[in-house]
Structure 1
Amino acid sequence: MKELVKLEEKRQKILADYRKEQKVAIILMLAAIAFGALAYFFETFFFIFTAFAAIIAFVFFGKAVVHLNSFKKLVKEELIMMLLKQQFEDVYYNHKDYIPSSRIVQTGMVKRPDRFHGEDYIKGSYKGVKFEVADVDLKERVERRDSKGNVSVSYQTYFKGRWYIYQFGRTFKEVLKIVEGRGYQVNTRGLVKVDTESIEFNKKFSIYASTQEYGFYHITSSMIEKFLELEKLHRGSILYYFSGNELHIGVNDRKDYMELSLKTPINEESLKSFISDIDLIPAIINELRLDSSKFKSSL
């Protein structure tokens, strides 16, 4: 593929420049350490050389970081966009944009974060189903008090991964929540617990719905099979939220998506994980049949 060859040539050029700047920075930093040792044991005059070498070293380290950022821009603005356009006709991508935490929290599937970060926002449509996808990181404030009464504060991640939102034509008046594990963070107020005929599914997931009937309307035997298949594709835990005309899927796998190392060649082999991450977006639509008549407007 010609596009990949061109991107790989750009990567090699950036890598060469990065290594050059980094090498100079390391040599200067070693020189600064040597001058510092001489100044300590012999003459304070050497402190001038120490400071000068250290300052120049930091300048070259800064230049190396610029090259890293240049490569990140190459990946985010050229490579990922190219891969997305190969999969979707209508797609938007912004690596700095995200799904607002308010949309995630309103599902009642996770608690409100004390700190939130999002990136790698993708928006588009496939088979008439609109979708939004982004990486999210939700943290909670944790206080610890030692034996002397001193309080230390830290922020710990409790959800980090990908959040999907699918919009279909039909609007449902009821709510269905499916969460892997016990779902202790899930708001189940006004909902009933649902158990399926699948022992394996009941062991892996907790299910809550507005009514038993609505729960079984979605959780058919074929849907259970698909949910289990999707669960096996992910590390960590997964959750589903049906409400209105939306399906939210949260994948808590502590993974940073859409990332590539500067030292990794850009070729079809190295991009397999990128492509599989992108392929999962339409795969969910296909596997759960979100484009079927069941999810289309009845009007």
Structure 2
Amino acid sequence: MAELLDGKKLAVELKAQLKDEIRRIKSDFGKTPRVINIMVGNDPGSCAYAKSQMKVAEEIGVDYKLKNVSASISQEELTNLILKLNMDPDVNGIMLHKPVPMHIDYHVLANHVDTVKDLEGINVANIGKMILGETNIIPCTPASVMEHIKSTGMDLRGKEAVVVGHSGIVGKPLSLLLLEQYATVTVCHIATSEAGKLVDHVKRADILIVAVGKPGVIDGGWVKKNAVVIDVGINRVNGKIVGDVQFDEAMKRAAYITPVPGGVGPVTVVMLMRNAIEAFHLQKIKKKKVFL
């Protein structure tokens, strides 16, 4: 029977570390990291997520400001706002909350954010640094996954790591982080499934990470004995939140597994605040990799 990787418990431990670092920053600089979250419109899901960010920021001591702008704002106006925040020395981190209206090109705007203020680690320059293993600020969900794996004590060197899902915000950056730890990485996607090869890859995974947004796409019986299973999926089925892995059966085979909800999610928000601290150091003292 697998041991649950409790994201809420891990988040508490990580927040304590960040609080200590914030105290040191305040002692050395007389201020704390200041971040701006730009929200376009009032999407209910975005508002709820922003509240959770605000709560964690307050607990840790990060100066978090939510800047809500009209859903009718133009691409040019948003660009100018981001450029203005880039130039503001009192702003250490910037994020553009998703979703955005159809007339807004999110990826173009994300690449206008100063590399050292990119809280979500999705600027092309920061992704490029991941390839070189020179990353200070990394995407928050992959960072959360890596913290969960780290908490198991597993040495990734030479281990078979299978990532199911190849999105630009989870699967692809996560594969780079795993490679940096000398795991042997396989990334699976829709074509893997269409070719009938998904089950074969899953069965040999020492570490299985699934992030496709499809409930129960991974049969729990495919999971290798004593594997580490990280389920990033969040799906609503019959009023319940479930992951991408068939949990009950996987629980019988894995050594460690994340629950959904309560696994990757709580730590993801903490990783955003860790990025804020990294950004502060990059701007103030050019210090490399405070936590990583």
Superposition TM-score tier, normalisation by shorter sequence: under 0.3
| Greater C-alpha radius of gyration | 1
State the TM-score, normalizing by the size of structure 1. 0.26
State the TM-score, normalizing by the size of structure 2. 0.26
**Bigger relative contact order (CA 8 A; separation at least 6):** 2
- Structure number with the higher strand fraction is 1
